[in-house]
Each structure stands twice: as structure tokens, then as C-alpha cells.
Amino acid sequence: MRRLVSIFTEQLEEALKIGPKANLSPFSNSIENVVITGLGGSGIGGEIATQLVANQLKVPVVINNDYSLPEFVSSKTLVIVSSFSGNTEETLAALKIAQDKKAEIACITSGGKLADIAKENNYKLLVLPLAFSPRAMLTYSVVQQFFLLAHYGLIDSSYIEDVQNTIALLNREVDEIKDLAHQTALALNSKTAVLYIESGLEGVAVRMRQQINENSKALCWHHVIPEMNHNELVGWAGGKEEYAVIMLRTSYEHYRSSVRMNISKEIINKQTSTLLEIKAKGESKIEQAFYHILFGDWTSIYLAELNRVDDVEVKVIDYLKSELAKI
């Protein structure tokens, strides 16, 4: 996993080339809403992408992580089906419903049943390179979501320049990011990580939580500002030193959310001495989001080393799938 994280920016560069090479056919009908369906590392890419271009989106977008689809799905719905393996059972079940509802379907995968179905039905298909772990391919997923949304005229193409600037930023800052991640992993060692971020970039915190879960083999939770100010903040009355808080900050926070985070920090600091504030670098929201994503990826790698665990294996998920296959 370390090797794949170390080529993060190379993946971003390659990801930008996939969409244009696909030569997708034009689509002239109107799209009234979008559903992005996927699980795990394949699903979070859609959430992150849509949050990063929320100010451009011309129609509602729903992120779906289930076997079913919302009832509103129709022939005027774009359903983006994302499964790295192409064999995720929940995603394939949702795809069947999209087919029954005559939705416009576009697929993101490296192969498997999803690629076969897409080819058989002439669905728009973006093919990702093969890798041993879906979570290591987030860069490809996010960029392909951008490409599809732009292809259907739902956002403009400014994401391309933002991703190119992101690559330059991360290449400049990688040593600092890795050092910051290492120090963070040391602070998290033997503690339970708690992540906070403004709600508009929740997907970034979800990604870091997933990486700590899967790479570091550790529990972690996250919440968002301002919502946590209306519930979880009260729970810190029972806070303990076993919790380590990471606040992921950006310059795009609503000014009232920024104030809320500062006050929340004061309150939480009275209950735990381990509270880290990570401020993203970069000009655009895309740059700052990927700064945090790379920081989170490296933190999970260093924490895995401290925990002396294999950052690749997910035996418990493999066991779950094998048991489900028997039913």
C-alpha cells in the first residue's frame, strides 16, 4: 500500500487521460437528477467529487450505497455505477434496478461483470487500470466522476486545471505532508481517532476514516461541523484521554462554521490533550481536499506500521464475502 500512496500524483496524471481516451458518445436528452451508486473505495469517490463541484451542479445528486435505488429514478436520471472490481453485489443489484427504470447509465470499473454488462448494453464505460486494492484507486474514481459530470454538461471543465494544479502542489508539499502524517500517527498510536471537518467536505473525512479502518486496522469515527455542535459536542462531557481528535481545516469553511470549529476546539481540549489541527494548503477546493486526502492516506500507512499490521489485507471482508456467497 505504501508504494501506491507514494505514486498518488502519478495516478492523478493518469486519471486525467482516461476520460478523453474513452471517446464517449454525446448525450442530447435532458438529465433531471443524478444517482452515483457504489460501495467502499468505489463509492466514496462520488461523494468527494460531487462535494467539490457542488457550486456548479445544475441538478440534484444523490450518493447511493445500497442494493436499491431511490424511487425517483427514471429515464431522465443519470445513474453512475462505480465498482472497481466490477463484481460488487450491492452495486450490481442497483444497476439492475437502473436498467429496469430505463435510466441513462454510465459505468466506472476495471472489469468484472460490470464491464461485461456495460459492453453488452453499449453503456458509457470508463475503464480503470487494474490494482490489488480499490481503496488505492481513489484518484481515478474522483477524476472519472468529474469527467462524466462534465460530459453530461452538469459541470464545466475547470476541474482539469484544478487537478493539474493539485498535482504540482502535492509534488511540492509531499515531504511536509509525510512528516505531518508521521507525527499525527504517533499522536494517534494507542488511541481512537476522531475526525472533524466542515459538512461540505465530509467525504474527505470519510475517506480518512476508511483508510484508518482498512490500512491501520483501527476504529475511528468522524462527524461534521455544524451538525456535531447540536449533539456530539455534548458527548465530550464524557471525553477521555483515549481519544485523539484531528480537525481538518480549509479556507473554504463558512465563516460561522470556522468560528464553531474554533470554539469546539476549546471545549474538546478540556477533555483530551490530543487535538491536532491540520490546515490544508492550495488555492482551489480541489487542491485543499486532495491535500487532506494524501495526508490521511500517509497517516494510515504510518499508523499501520506502529500497529504492526499488514496495511493491505482485509481478511475479515474476504470472510464476510465468502459467507455471503454461501447464501
Q: What's the total number of domains in the chain?
A: 2
- Whether pTM > 0.85 for this model: the answer is yes
Residue 41 lies in a domain: yes
- CB contact burial 51-67 (16+ within 10 A = b; e otherwise): bbbeeeeeeebbbbbee
- Find residue 276's DSSP bridge partners: 246
**Residue 256 belongs to what domain range?**
175-307
Residue 324 lies in a domain: no
User: What is the reported pLDDT for 67?
Assistant: 97
Q: Give residue-wise pLDDT tens across range 228-271.
A: 999 999 999 987 899 999 999 999 999 999 999 999 999 999 99
Sequence-separated (6 or more) residues with CB below 8 Å from residue 32: 59, 74, 76, 77
Residue 51 lies in a domain: yes
Residue 98 lies in a domain: yes
- Answer yes or no: do 88 and 17 share one domain: yes
Query: Is 191 among the residues known to form the active site?
Result: no
Percent above pLDDT 70 for the chain: 100
User: What is the reported pLDDT for 132?
Assistant: 61
- Answer yes or no: do 9 and 150 share one domain: yes
User: What is the reported pLDDT for 4?
Assistant: 81
Please report, for residues 68, 231, 236, 298, the alpha-carbon distance to residue 327 in angstroms, rounded to integers and kept in the order given.
19, 39, 42, 38
Q: Which of the residues 21, 230, 315, 326 is marked catalytic?
A: 230
Q: Name the burial class of residue 205, with classes exposed (0-12), middle (13-18) and buried (19+) by CB atoms within 10 angstroms of its CB.
A: buried
For the residues of 81-124, what is the DSSP string, one character each? EE-SSS--HHHHHHHHHHHHTT-EEEEEESSHHHHHHHHHHT-E
Q: Give residue-wise pLDDT tens across range 282-312.
A: 999 999 999 999 999 999 999 999 999 988 8
Domain boundary among 108, 127, 156: 156
Domain boundary among 102, 127, 156: 156
Please say if the pLDDT value at position 81 is more than 70.
yes
Mean pLDDT of the chain: 94
> On the CB side of 278, how many CA atoms lie within 13 Å of its CA?
33
Helices (H), the chain: 2-6, 8-22, 40-52, 89-100, 112-121, 138-151, 158-188, 202-214, 232-235, 255-269, 285-307, 315-325
- Answer yes or no: do 179 and 152 share one domain: no
User: What is the reported pLDDT for 41?
Assistant: 83
Q: CA-to-CA distance for 302 and 324, rounded, in angstroms?
A: 32
Q: Which of the residues 90, 202, 214, 287 is marked catalytic?
A: 214
User: What's the one-letter identity of residue 249?
Assistant: R
Please say if the pLDDT value at position 195 is more than 70.
yes
- Answer yes or no: do 20 and 136 share one domain: yes
- Answer yes or no: do 91 and 132 share one domain: yes
- Answer yes or no: do 114 and 199 share one domain: no
| pLDDT (mean) for 37-53 | 94
CATH of the domain at 295: 3.40.50.10490
User: What is the reported pLDDT for 111?
Assistant: 94
| pLDDT (mean) for 100-106 | 97
Residue 201 lies in a domain: yes
Grid cell listed for 268: 474538546
Q: CA-to-CA distance for 233 and 239, rounded, in angstroms?
A: 10
Residue 170 lies in a domain: no
Residue 12 lies in a domain: yes
Q: CA-to-CA distance for 321 and 149, rounded, in angstroms?
A: 32
Query: Is 47 among the residues known to form the active site?
Result: no
User: What is the reported pLDDT for 135?
Assistant: 80
- Answer yes or no: do 12 and 133 share one domain: yes
- Answer yes or no: do 226 and 119 share one domain: no
Sequence-separated (6 or more) residues with CB below 8 Å from residue 294: 5, 8, 170, 174, 177
Q: Which of the two residues, 82 and 25, has the higher pLDDT score?
A: 82
User: What is the reported pLDDT for 28?
Assistant: 73
Q: CA-to-CA distance for 128 and 221, rounded, in angstroms?
A: 30
- Answer yes or no: do 248 and 285 share one domain: yes
Q: Which of the two residues, 315 and 191, has the higher pLDDT score?
A: 191
Cβ–Cβ < 8 Å for 293, 208:
yes
- Answer yes or no: do 198 and 244 share one domain: yes
- Answer yes or no: do 198 and 137 share one domain: no
> On the CB side of 169, how many CA atoms lie within 13 Å of its CA?
22
Residue 53 lies in a domain: yes
Q: CA-to-CA distance for 80 and 67, rounded, in angstroms?
A: 14
- Answer yes or no: do 196 and 250 share one domain: yes
Domain boundary among 104, 122, 156: 156
